[in-house]
Amino acid sequence: MPATLVVQKFGGSSVADADRIKRVARRIARERAAGNDLVVVVSAMGDTTDELLGLAAAITDEPDPRELDVLLATGEHQSATLVSMALHAMGVPAISLTGPQAGITTDGTYGRARIAGVEPRRIQAELQGGKVVIVAGFQGQSAAQAHEMELTTLGRGGSDTTAVALAAALGADACEIYTDVDGVHTADPRVVPNARKLHAVSYEEMLELAASGAKVLQVRSVEVARNHDVKLHVRSTFSPEDGTWVREEDDRMLEKALISGVTHTREETLYRVTGTTASQLFSALADAGVNVDTIVQTGPEIVFSAPTDDRDAAVDVLDALAVEWSSRDDLGKVSLVGAGMKSHPGVAAKTFATLEAAGIEAPIVSTSPIKIACHVPSSDVDRAVQALHEAFELA
């Protein structure tokens, strides 16, 4: 019987210091002893990426994008080599690889590259040699002519995408995402203490949850998993318990709970724009790297939202287009997500009635077949999450 191949990913909090790295190594060693072939993707230790960004900022206000990517990639190199060393110390054969060594190629965009392909021959050879392969996440090599190949990083959360892309290329049986929470919950447990851990969610639900504020998985990683049918298992590094499975919707999931969860974003800038076309506006925002979320247009006015971190770039675009615009920075977003609402009427009515009873105004509402997103005052976000979680009996 062939060995089970599992790709595991450990986030920055899981490898934040030497003791945690040793704990991760012991967990990997137990899985290897159980007979599984393992490819392990690691993020940079703790706050290393932020510290490296701080060092770059202390040198120059405008670091060269190429040099910044080379600098940031060293955080994951450090984690990968230390985990490999810890395994060696336990007598477990292991090898650390950079993203390029692991065969990951990208489109060459510095700071937010997208994976163009994976050629995992080196990984497969090391696995056949009996080794655990530790891969530095968040990075790859531009798919250019040999003399022009450059190291590029995938942007925040890129290690999740690295892990899922490797799982797809290797035909892994599962991709386990280890983090400091024990799975996907019906709401953020810090806001709703009695939030419930979900056993399973569909890819579509997880995409909506991730895009709407649930930080347990990165959106791009879920897209890759859905496109290649990679089963994800979100688990805690610090517990042996099962977490939450993310997979294709099946018969067992069709009659499940109406709502899977309530997610939130505390701050999101809302823009109102006139004097341009949607095509011109959103092309310019995309070129500037602005992550547009909600879009509403019922006439000449275009309303859209974007993360507060993208405000400077969005303002530069709007000023360059010479359009009339205004913005609000006092709103957050609360979203209800659930595949069950596709076949159950009345979810929107109950949502609005709940917010009205709590005295919470929602000036902008947007929907998809499995999501209702309400922009509410930032000061009311927590109350809105708690009220909706209770109203839909998610505890």
Q: 318 lies in a domain? A: yes
The verdict on 137 and 14 lying in the same domain is: yes
Residue 203 covered by a domain: no
Residue 27 lies in a domain: yes
Q: Same domain, yes or no, for 175 and 270? A: no
| Within a domain: 160 | yes
Instruction: Give pLDDT, residue 249.
Output: 73
* DSSP-assigned letter for residue 262: E
Torsion of Cα atoms, 117 then 209 then 248 then 3, to 10°:
60
One-letter amino acid at 17 equals D
**pLDDT at residue 144 in the model:** 65
The neighbour count for residue 312, using CB atoms within 10 Å, is: 11
Domain end, chosen from 139, 156, 180, is at: 180
- pLDDT of 155: 86
pLDDT at 251: 56
How are beta strands 174-179 and 232-236 bridged, if at all?
A: parallel
Answer yes or no: is 372 within a domain: yes
Same domain, 171 and 287: no
Tokens describing residue 253: 């999931």
CA 46 to chain centre: 17
Distance CA 331, CA 266 (A): 7
* 334 domain-assigned: yes
Q: Is the pTM of this model over 0.85?
A: yes
The enclosing domain of 363 has a CATH number of: 3.30.2130.10
Domain containing residue 309: 261-391
End residue of a domain, out of 180, 205, 235? 180
Closest of 261, 270, 230, 263 to residue 246, by C-alpha:
230
> Which residues, listed in sequence order, are joined to residue 142 by a DSSP beta bridge?
106
Do 40 and 148 lie in one domain? The reply is yes
Task: Tell me the three-class secondary structure of 213-233, residue by residue.
Answer: CCCCCCHHHHHHHHHHCCCEE
Distance CA 312, CA 395 (A): 39
Q: Are 163 and 38 in contact (CB under 8 A)?
A: no
Tell me, yes or no, whether 159 and 17 share the same domain.
yes
- Per-block mean pLDDT, blocks of 10 residues, the chain (395 long): 87 94 96 95 95 96 96 97 98 97 94 93 97 97 73 91 97 94 91 92 91 85 94 92 87 62 93 95 92 89 92 94 93 91 82 95 90 94 96 90
Residue 190 lies in a domain: no
298 in the same domain as 171: no
Asked if residue 237 belongs to a domain, the reply is no
Domains contained in the chain, number: 2
Cα–Cα distances in angstroms (integers) from residue 264 to residues 220, 307, 384, in the given order: 19, 12, 9
Tokens of 150: 């450059």
Residue 166, C-beta contacts closer than 8 angstroms, at least 6 positions apart: 7, 39, 41, 102, 104, 118, 120, 123, 135, 172
Place of tokens 């400091």: 180
Last residue of a domain, one of 127, 159, 180: 180
Q: Which residues of 67-93 are buried (b: 16+ CB within 10 A; e: fewer)?
A: ebbbbbbbbbbbbbbbbbebbeeeebe
The CATH number given to whatever domain includes residue 157 is 3.40.1160.10
| Residue 130 DSSP symbol | T
* Nearest Cα to Cα of residue 114 among 75, 153, 167, 73: 153
Does 149 share its domain with 281? no
What would the two tokens of residue 204 be? 């579509």
- Degrees (nearest 5) of the Cα angle 241, 245, 249? 155
267 and 372, same structural domain?
A: yes
Q: How far apart are CA 306 and CA 65, in angstroms?
A: 23
Are 237 and 17 a contacting pair, CB within 8 Å?
Answer: no
